[in-house]
Structure 1
Amino acid sequence: MTTPQDVAVADALPALFPTVRQRGRIAIFIRRHPTIVVGGAFLLALLLIAVFAPWLGTVDPTALAPARRTRPPSAQYWFGTDMLGRDVYSRVLFGTRVSLFVGFSVAILASTIGLLIGIIAGFVRPLDTILMRVMDGLMAIPGILLAIALMALTRGSVANVIIAISVSQIPQVARLVRSGVLTLREQPYVEAAIASGTRLPKILWLHVVPNALAPLAVQATFICAAAMITEATLSFLGAGTPPSIPSWGNIMAEGRAIWQVKPYIVFFPAIFLTITVLAVNMLGDGMRDALDPRLAKSI
């Protein structure tokens, strides 16, 4: 069919939906990595809750209303109120911001510093013994006790909580990266780069760091989950974020005195913390299975 010369023809509309081939690939990925999909979906939902918390029917999480204290869950107060009359629903949703921010910040900070220490220890023999003995000394102290000790030296704040938890997580990352670097250092392509006179920073950037990122990304997810639990523990013990900040640990700490008669004050933040840690761990498990060549399947 020919088009008249005086008639304009509009451009074809872009495809609004994935093609059949693309949908097939998505279905295959979902079938082979359900833990990544489920964990990622839960984590995405929690991120959306953290971002849009002010528009999800919440009120000021720090607003006091003594006349409405310890109200049970109802249509007006979905999660009830605490001993000071504050809305538990609003405090739990705003607490999502604190937990996710602490978890992601600790994962990034500990992974970055641990990556640098592990690479230096794996490639620079004279510094290997010194750095690893320091890491062994930090790992000999339980992480929660080390975090409490560091928080006792500073004032309570979110930044100090992030630093305290990161210090306890760095040795694990450093040892993981070092073990990988020791293996990569013996690979033929690395030895060829050294023999050709390539400078050490370029070798590390081109050959070592890319190969160390896959296991590091998996480890970072477990660090994120552990950091959120540690932050809640510190706040529950009174050594974490200030009581004025609505974090899940603070909410549970404030409700533990009357949890036998008003269990909802502890129940709701505990459920959110459990779901968040479960989602991050599922994402990490799925990434480990997907990135492990021994478990990979041909498409």
Structure 2
Amino acid sequence: MDAAAPAVAAPLPDVIPPRKARGPVWRFIRRYPTVVAGGVILTLILLAALLAPWLWTVDPTALAPAKRTRPPSAQFWFGTDMLGRDIYSRVIYGAQVSLLVGFSVAVLASIGGLAIGLVSGMVRWLDGIVMRVVDGMMSIPPILLAIALMALTRGSVQNVIIAITIAEIPRVARLVRGVVLSLREQPYVEAAVTTGTRMPAIIWRHILPNTLAPMTVQATYICASAMITEAILSFIGAGVPPSVPTWGNIMAEGRALWQVKFYIILFPAIALSLTVLAVNLVGDGLRDALDPRMAKEV
């Protein structure tokens, strides 16, 4: 062995074990727990609505006067109402109407509000006219505007969706318009205008992609608000016909006996609260995930 060669120390044992690599799913769960929690609850409710005929339910409109106002039991899990109808079956089937109204209104109001907000934000001479109309509609509470629109039509799920959509469009339009006003002053937009890029191309390439994130978050809140509004309309008799099982109709039919038969209102109220909570949790998580400043902090 060469005496001039430097001595090499023996490798030290691993005192701290190497950190195990986490998968992308686990990292997402850890960073955005509210999205995961809300998504799980919403998925379970959606599956219950889609699989309603196979979840030990019966006909939600079947009358059985001899079995009316039965308390919760092994035979009737949520009890029966004043006409002997199974409340459990009516709550499960009622999820179909609430989810349909919530998702439909969120999509339609987002599309309508996006179109109005883009035109108002980019076309200066139309901004004043359009926004005055939007301000006038926003001065009326959405529930009152929906009631007024429903008074002009007959009660149906389709008309409820249309009425709530018209009432919610101004909220999306004002949000999109505010985003567009800030984006059109950005240097890259001004450079595109200077180079002669046409307005539709500017909107498609530069404006529209930057409005999708805040509009997506707003759509979740509109979905939750639409479900509450639908329940209110049904509760006061201005929404879906009483023959259709909805959470609002179930609570409306049980309000006369709520002091002695509270379970008639309790279970649909819990279902509505859980659904709205799940949608709001998803919205809060998306807001944190899509906000660059929040992403840096995390």
Normalising by structure 1, report the TM-score: 0.91
TM-align CA RMSD: 1.4
1:25 CA drift (Å): 2.1
In the TM superposition, 1:115-194 aligns within 5 A as 115-194=114-193
Q: Could you tell me which residue of structure 1 aligns to residue 274 of structure 2?
A: 275
Secondary structure of 2:296's partner? coil
Q: Could you tell me which residue of structure 2 aligns to residue 39 of structure 1?
A: 38
In the alignment, does 2:71 pair up with 1:79?
no
Q: Could you tell me which residue of structure 1 aligns to residue 68 of structure 2?
A: 69
In the alignment, does 2:284 pair up with 1:285?
yes
Residue 265 to residue 176, structure 1, CA distance change in 2 (3 Å): same
Q: Could you tell me which residue of structure 1 aligns to residue 257 of structure 2?
A: 258
1:21 CA drift (Å): 8.6
Identify unmatched segments of 5+ residues in structure 1: 1-19
Q: Could you tell me which residue of structure 1 aligns to residue 207 of structure 2?
A: 208
Q: Could you tell me which residue of structure 2 aligns to residue 106 of structure 1?
A: 105
Residue 182 to residue 281, structure 1, CA distance change in 2 (3 Å): same
Supply the distance in 2 between the matched residues of 1:120 and 1:234 (Cα, whole angstroms).
Answer: 32
Supply the distance in 1 between the matched residues of 2:51 and 2:151 (Cα, whole angstroms).
Answer: 34
Q: Could you tell me which residue of structure 1 aligns to residue 56 of structure 2?
A: 57
- Which of these two proteins has the greater Rg computed from alpha carbons? 2
**CA-to-partner distance for each residue in 1:173-200, whole Å, 9 max, x for gaps?**
0010001001111112212222222221
**CA-to-partner distance for each residue in 1:140-184, whole Å, 9 max, x for gaps?**
011111111110010000111111111111111001000100111
Supply the distance in 1 between the matched residues of 2:290 and 2:265 (Cα, whole angstroms).
Answer: 38
**CA-to-partner distance for each residue in 1:12-58, whole Å, 9 max, x for gaps?**
xxxxxxxx998522222111111000001101111101110110000
1:222 CA drift (Å): 0.3
Supply the distance in 1 between the matched residues of 2:181 and 2:141 (Cα, whole angstroms).
Answer: 27
Secondary structure of 2:114's partner? helix
Q: Could you tell me which residue of structure 2 aligns to residue 9 of structure 1?
A: none
1:294 CA drift (Å): 1.1
User: Mean Cα displacement is larger for which, 163-172 or 229-238?
Assistant: 163-172
The share of aligned pairs that are identical, in percent, is 70
Supply the distance in 2 between the matched residues of 1:23 and 1:160 (Cα, whole angstroms).
Answer: 49
Supply the distance in 2 between the matched residues of 1:298 and 1:81 (Cα, whole angstroms).
Answer: 51
Q: Could you tell me which residue of structure 2 aligns to residue 234 of structure 1?
A: 233
1:286 CA drift (Å): 0.5
Amino acid at match of 1:46: I
Supply the distance in 1 between the matched residues of 2:257 and 2:265 (Cα, whole angstroms).
Answer: 9
Supply the distance in 2 between the matched residues of 1:90 and 1:202 (Cα, whole angstroms).
Answer: 51
Amino acid at match of 1:28: R
